[in-house]
Amino acid sequence: MSKVAYLGAIAGILVAGAATAQSPSYTWSGYGTNVPGSSKCPTYKMTINVTVEGNSVKGRFVQEGRPERHFEAAKDASGLFKTKAEVGGGGSMDVSGSVKDGDSKILLDGYCKFGGPLTKK
């Protein structure tokens, strides 16, 4: 085998290995639903991105026109997670969901409710 072909084969193996080693990533985008005392939630658009590394669940979310926020949680053996995310002004949102094959979902619950099924990226 020529040196060029050999190096090309090694590069291909390294790229394939890196691709399979990537952490699963998910996304959800949509509008909020009302909670008691709020009527504007259906006009608020949110995008949520979630990455899973082992038992660690890390998420970033942004409502249109607002700063990006984040959360971190640990998932249990059945893939469930729950935490709080700071949203500014002393407020927070409850974050819960699941990351498992065929049943990945998220819910941000606070001034509005945002979430639903997560789509794998």
Residue 60's CB is within 10 A of a number of other CB atoms, namely 14
Across the beta sheet with 113-117, the strand order is: 80-88, 91-98, 105-109, 113-117
**Range of the structural domain that residue 69 is part of:** 23-120
> Does 9 fall in a domain?
no
Record the pTM.
Answer: 0.80
> Does 4 fall in a domain?
no
Instruction: Residue 41: give its domain's CATH number.
Output: 2.40.160
Predicted pLDDT of residue 62: 97
C-alpha–C-alpha distance, residues 74 and 54, integer Å:
9
Predicted pLDDT of residue 7: 46
> Does 18 fall in a domain?
no
> Does 1 fall in a domain?
no
C-alpha–C-alpha distance, residues 85 and 50, integer Å:
13
* Mean pLDDT, each 10-residue run in order, the chain (121 residues): 52 50 90 91 97 97 96 97 94 96 94 96 91
Predicted pLDDT of residue 118: 97
